[in-house]
Amino acid sequence: GIQVEQSPPDLILQEGANSTLRCNFSDSVNNLQWFHQNPWGQLINLFYIPSGTKQNGRLSATTVATERYSLLYISSSQTTDSGVYFCAVEISSGTYKYIFGTGTRLKVLA
Amino acid sequence: ETGVTQTPRHLVMGMTNKKSLKCEQHLGHNAMYWYKQSAKKPLELMFVYSLEERVENNSVPSRFSPECPNSSHLFLHLHTLQPEDSALYLCASSQDVGGDEQFFGPGTRLTVL
């Protein structure tokens, strides 16, 4: 089946630093989302980005579907950015599948 | 209320108990989903419903029984669970199945003793 791998698995940043999180997937997908899971378990939608580039404040994302990867950029990180970042991909070929990556655990230090 | 809500937020049950998790979406969506998030594992899709019809069951044991009485409500009935079923159970909804953004509820943290 399709593999969704995220890197790095863990990341520690000083407040104000920039970072890039990567999501690689092994097959063609219909769409891709980025989420931030806060310490209470809530998944917060960041981007719905099957292709192209989007920006929302300090966050931006780029998906290159033909090369099977997506990047999430966090600029000027804040302590509230801490948590786990997931990418998830959707496949609809016969059966419906929505597969989450293993996540990147981010800790931003004050 | 807006978005996707789940109750209860926490649940502790014995292996012989029967309990139900409830999910309600206020987004006018047609599709609803149950996911399981165990410690140290990626989120796993359990069930998919489209307009109250189940369209996917990803090899989930029969001790988990979903119910979708209408497009706004989704239940997960639990019976004779095992300790390894302890996890965060998340509900999500999207406009339709396939090609749409999913929105998640806050989850129910389940502990099976």
The three-class DSSP label of residue A58 is coil
Task: Give the β-pairing of B44-50 and B31-37.
Answer: antiparallel
Q: Which residues of B touch A96 (CB under 8 A)?
A: 48, 55-56, 97-98
pLDDT in tens, B63-101: 999 999 999 999 999 999 999 999 999 999 999 998 889
Q: Which of B42, B44, B90 lies at the smallest CB-CB distance from A43?
A: B90
Q: What are phi and psi of A53, to 5 degrees?
A: -130, 140
pLDDT in tens, B17-58: 899 999 999 999 999 999 999 987 889 999 999 988 888 878
A17 burial type by CB count under 10 A (0-12 exposed, 13-18 middle, 19+ buried): middle
Strands (E), chain B: 4-7, 10-13, 18-25, 31-37, 44-50, 53-57, 64-70, 73-79, 87-94, 103-104, 108-112
Q: Which of B42, B88, B101 lies at the smallest CB-CB distance from A100?
A: B42
pLDDT in tens, A45-101: 999 999 999 999 999 999 999 999 999 999 999 999 999 999 999 987 777 889 999
Q: What is the helix (H) or strand (E) element at residue A83, kind and residue range?
A: strand A83-93
* pLDDT computed for residue B1 by the predictor: 54
Cβ distance of A30 and B99 shorter than 8 Å: yes
Cβ distance of B42 and A96 shorter than 8 Å: no
